[in-house]
Amino acid sequence: MTSSDTVYKSIKDLSRDEFISPGTPVCGGCGGLEVLRLAAKVLGERVVFVNAAGCFTLLALFPYTPFRGSWLYTTMGSAPAGAQGVRDALDILLAKGRLPPEDDLQVVVVAGDGSTYDMALSATSGTLYRNLDYWYICYDNEAYGNTGMQQSSATPYAAHTATTPEGAGDSSAIPFAKKDIFEIWRAHKPPYIATVSPRHPVDLARKFEKAKQFRGPKLFLAFAPCPTGWLYDPAHTQAYAKLGVECGIFPLKEAVHGQVTHTYVKRRWRPVEEYLQGQGRFRHLFEPVRQDAMIRTIQEAVERYWAEALSEKDK
């Protein structure tokens, strides 16, 4: 692992170099792609992305690839196991002198929430158990996006999806809170976990840079606003990425050897309504009749989260 001294204080410190070419087949305004673009600026070109079935599978579309590095598409349920095979093979080749050290690669899983929260949980758990030296970027758009926004276990309470049409009154689509994948990962005690948002590029770059010092799994949960699935104008991706953080819904944090630190904390979070309103998937909370109880449920969940998070910090 090459550790560098790059310090990210402002957006100007990020590389001007692009490692992912524009013009890919993913949707305009894709929050996940922006995260990947920013992450690649820190990771550089000596990477092999190991991909699980999802929106990003379309990035490398024969005979084109937008990457300066390498790419391997695996399956929906086993990209982390693919990373295991690639990392182990590179280590074997290095140890046997069949690969010069300068030809080594960082192995980076790129998977959506459907794969990460559901199908590949077993494969991911295995790599964490074995302390595999790799990166994992989950672009979380909170549903099975590539198949047209069906419910995944990352879908938040009250969101409308194609398989959970809202009913009458306040019987909403999703009665559950999304799985807490950050805590599921953290229970395995990997050296580094972080959440990142495309609207906080300096925070993102710092976290990827910081993670370079750790050997073992380096896991990133990326907030991925999705105009196609969340039903808003693609021009507003950065606005929703910002509101998700500012309303306290998507906490920016990291866990170093299990120790959690929030990297963006406010005294007062903006009301969740500002984030919910305007997204088509939450329209039924506001029209035709305002669902106060449900909005309150969401607001209270955010307040409970931060009350616990900040009291933990005081301990």
Partner 1 sequence: MTRQMLTGNSAAAWGARLADVDYVPAFPITPQTEIIETLAQWCADGTMPGRFVTLDSEHSMLTAAGAAAATGVRVFTATSSQGLLYAFELLYTVAGWRVPLVLVNVSRALASPITLEPDHNDVLAARDSGFLQIHAETCQEVLDSVLMAYRIAEDARVLLPAIVNLDGFYLSFTREPVTLPAPEQVRAFLPAYAPTHAAFKASRPMAQGVVVLGGAPYSYFKYQMHLAAQNALAVHEGVAEQFAAAFGRRYGLIETYRMDDADYVLVMSNAFATKGKAAVNRFRDQGIRMGLLRLRMLRPFPKSAIVSALRGRQAVAVIDQNLSVGFGGITYAEIASALYGEPRPPLLLSYIGGLGGKDLSAAEFDHMAQDLQHSVSRGEAPPPRLLYTDREAEQMAAFLRLAGKGEVA
Options 6, 13, 14, 88; binder of partner 1; rule CB under 8 A: 88
| C-alpha R_g of the chain | 19
Closest CA to 54 of 134, 142, 146: 146
Residues in the chain: 315
CA–CA separation, 31 and 22 (whole Å):
14
Options 6, 13, 58, 189; binder of partner 1; rule CB under 8 A: 58
CB of 188 to partner 1, least distance (A): 12
Is residue 130 part of the contact set for partner 1 (CB under 8 A)? yes
CB of 220 to partner 1, least distance (A): 21
CB of 116 to partner 1, least distance (A): 15
Residue with tokens 């926004």: 149
CA–CA separation, 41 and 7 (whole Å):
13
Nearer to partner 1, 79 or 276 (CB): 79
DSSP letter for each residue of 166-227: --STT--S--SPPP-HHHHHHTT--SEEEEE-TT-HHHHHHHHHHHTT--SEEEEEEE---H
Pairing label, strands 106-112, 70-73: unpaired
Nearer to partner 1, 123 or 245 (CB): 123
Options 13, 14, 75, 273; binder of partner 1; rule CB under 8 A: 75
Q: How many residues bind partner 1 (CB under 8 A)?
A: 48
Are 243 and 225 in contact, with CB atoms under 8 Å apart? no
Judging by beta carbons within 10 Å of its beta carbon (0-12, 13-18, 19+), is residue 195 exposed, middle or buried?
buried
Is residue 94 part of the contact set for partner 1 (CB under 8 A)? no
Options 36, 55, 60, 243; binder of partner 1; rule CB under 8 A: 60
Options 13, 14, 99, 262; binder of partner 1; rule CB under 8 A: 99
Stretch binding partner 1 (CB under 8 A), from 46-54, 194-202, 219-227, 236-244: 46-54
Is residue 153 part of the contact set for partner 1 (CB under 8 A)? no
Token couple for 260: 């959690």
Nearer to partner 1, 79 or 174 (CB): 79
Q: Report CA-CA distances (Å) from 268 to 132, 159, 271, 306.
A: 39, 24, 9, 10
Options 13, 14, 93, 170; binder of partner 1; rule CB under 8 A: 93
CB of 81 to partner 1, least distance (A): 3
CA–CA separation, 283 and 289 (whole Å):
10
Is residue 123 part of the contact set for partner 1 (CB under 8 A)? yes
- Residues interacting with partner 1, by CB under 8 A? 45-46, 48, 50, 57-58, 60-62, 65, 67-75, 77-86, 88-93, 96, 98-99, 102-105, 122-123, 125-126, 129-130
